[in-house]
């Protein structure tokens, strides 16, 4: 299988999941501005939506949307316990976290990566992100460790990738010590280090 990615983008989340699972996979870097891959393929022919991540799983099938990809990967390896079993309450809680991360937190970062955003838009986006962090801080304070009481999951990996943008976006974690702790814990995992290295980020 092949993961289409851009260094440090949200595609880092399936990259870390692949690394946690110890899967064999290829990587192909995408230039998001030109939509060309490093092998000079028109990326829109791989994912017509034009954004990463995209995972080619063979048989002419390309999975898109980060939260779908990471659940698919973890479901293939139930022994990894990176996702609770389908149909359980825990899986419902996981999907609630994934949707919150995607629809509420991930998208709140948008103006901070748009070179055309005004300073006013950027300030508002930082405020929105910090507001989303408030909720995650209470979840982590209640569980004392990961997003789910059951243990480390793909939601922690996705959250790590989003929180990892904070420094670049000038978002201070000083008032969110649980999130800072969570970030440091995921960062220290060997699978995270391997993915960051492969993307040339460390
Ligand atoms: N809904 C998509 C959003 C993916 C997304 O926002 N990807 C960004 C990088 S983090 C991207 O490729 N942006 C380039 C573009 O939209 O042109 C998902 O969750 O997978």
CATH 1.10.630.10 fits 81-189, yes or no: no
pLDDT for res 13: 99
144-162 pLDDT, tens digit each: 999 999 999 999 999 999 9
Q: What is the mean pLDDT of the chain?
A: 98
The CB of 68 under 6 Å from ligand 1? The reply is: no
Atom of ligand 1 nearest to the CA of 102: 19
pTM: 0.98
Domain ranges of the chain: 2-78+191-198, 81-189
Separation of alpha carbons 176 and 137, rounded Å: 6
pLDDT for res 17: 98
- With the most atoms of ligand 1 within 8 angstroms of its CB, the residue from 13, 52, 104 to mutate is 52
Q: How far is CA 172 from CA 87, 168, 180, 182, in A?
A: 37, 10, 10, 15
Match domain 2-78+191-198 to its CATH number in 3.40.50.300, 3.30.300.160, 2.40.160.10, 3.40.30.10.
3.40.30.10
Which pair of tokens denotes residue 108?
A: 């709140």
The CB of 51 under 6 Å from ligand 1? The reply is: yes
The DSSP result for 107-121, as a single string, is GGGHHHH-TT--HHH
Separation of alpha carbons 90 and 196, rounded Å: 29
Output the CA 81–ligand 1 centroid distance in Å.
Answer: 26
The CB of 102 under 6 Å from ligand 1? The reply is: yes
Q: Nearest C-alpha to atom 18 of ligand 1 is from which residue?
A: 65
Q: Please give the share of the chain, as a percent, with pLDDT higher than 90.
A: 100
Output the CA 142–ligand 1 centroid distance in Å.
Answer: 31
Output the CA 201–ligand 1 centroid distance in Å.
Answer: 19
Average pLDDT over residues 30-56: 98
pLDDT for res 69: 99
The CB of 14 under 6 Å from ligand 1? The reply is: no
pLDDT for res 83: 98
pLDDT for res 49: 98
107-132 pLDDT, tens digit each: 999 999 999 999 999 999 999 999 99
């Amino acid at each position: 299988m092949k993961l289409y990615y851009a260094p440090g983008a949200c595609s880092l989340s399936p990259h870390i999941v692949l690394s946690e699972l110890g899967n064999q996979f290829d990587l192909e870097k995408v230039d998001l501005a030109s939509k060309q891959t490093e092998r000079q393929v028109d990326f829109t022919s791989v994912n017509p939506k034009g954004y990463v991540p995209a995972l080619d799983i063979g048989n002419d099938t390309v999975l898109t949307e980060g939260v779908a990809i990471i659940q698919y990967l973890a479901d293939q390896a139930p022994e990894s316990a990176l996702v609770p079993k389908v149909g359980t309450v825990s899986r419902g809680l996981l999907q609630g976290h994934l949707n919150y991360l995607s629809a509420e937190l991930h998208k709140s970062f948008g103006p901070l990566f748009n070179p055309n955003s005004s300073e006013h838009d950027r300030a508002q986006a930082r405020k929105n992100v910090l507001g989303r962090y408030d909720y995650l801080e209470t979840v982590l304070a209640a569980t004392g460790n990961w997003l789910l009481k059951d243990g480390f999951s793909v939601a922690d990996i996705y959250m790590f990738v989003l929180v990892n943008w904070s420094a670049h976006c000038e978002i201070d974690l000083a008032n969110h010590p649980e999130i800072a702790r969570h970030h440091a814990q995921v960062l220290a995992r060997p699978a995270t280090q391997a993915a960051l290295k492969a993307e040339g980020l460390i």
